[in-house]
Amino acid sequence: MIRFSHRTAAPLLGVVMAATLLAGCGSAKASPAATPSGSPSDAISVTASAGTSSSAVASSSASASGSQPASPAASASAEPTIPLPHVSVALEDQLPTTIESVPMIKLSLILSAFIASPPPGGDKSLYAAWLVQFGKTPADVDLAIAYSASDSMDFNARAIGVPGATAASLSSRFAQVATAAGWTVKSYPNLMQSGKTVLEIIDPAATAGPTGGAGYVYTRDGVLYEIITNSQALLLDALIQMP
């Protein structure tokens, strides 16, 4: 249900910039975020907040006796890092910390910041029509994301919190909005023996993408969960771990 994978850096960078702009405009939810351990250098690291980089410049000095300049000092710089937003750590905690022993990078931001990021379309076009049925807008709710920085793993999971809404209504109304938008929606009770009734939602405009345009959606306790992957093994691991 997403139009990009973790290998597509540009769209995710747009998320970071959108979140930064919202923070600059005084959004109450967009608070400064701590930099996670490790620097995500791949796709979803785009979903981070403001871009900052640090580098140490090597220097050399000539000896007092006039000999040749000393060798340049080793650079202490690492790859530039981007601080990730964490507007809802509680929502992030609902997502897996590892998938098949691979550590996940987590972040959270206001849903409207994600929608404002390029490119438009895809699942971003569904959220406003879905939330208005609960008397909310994308600026009222938070989105958490967990993803892998590994190029060998095409996976990310999301959680959107909608306080006060029932699980059944979140799921059924999301399916209605997707169907009305021309998406293919199929329901799988107890998918992969996980005990969860999961909607497979396929974006007709993204069927040629890395994930085939498909996403897996289910709901629990006022939260809509999404899993985006082209691996059945990764999907099963996520379903087992998630609430």
Where do the structural domains in the chain lie, given as residue ranges?
9-51+81-241
Q: Quickly count: other Cβ atoms within 10 Å of residue 140's Cβ.
A: 16
pLDDT at position 117 is: 87
96 in Cβ contact with 157 (< 8 Å): yes
Residue with tokens 């006796």: 65
pLDDT at position 210 is: 52
pLDDT at position 206 is: 74
pLDDT in tens, the chain (243 residues): 444 333 333 344 455 544 544 444 433 343 333 333 333 333 322 233 333 333 333 333 333 344 444 443 433 333 446 799 999 999 999 999 999 999 999 999 999 999 998 888 889 999 999 999 999 999 999 999 999 988 888 899 999 999 999 999 999 999 999 999 999 999 999 999 999 999 999 988 876 555 456 899 999 999 999 999 989 999 999 999 999
Residues 149 and 45: their CA atoms lie apart, in Å, by: 8
pLDDT at position 168 is: 97
pTM of the model: 0.71
pLDDT at position 194 is: 96
Residue with tokens 């540009």: 10
pLDDT at position 119 is: 84
Residues 80 and 51: their CA atoms lie apart, in Å, by: 9
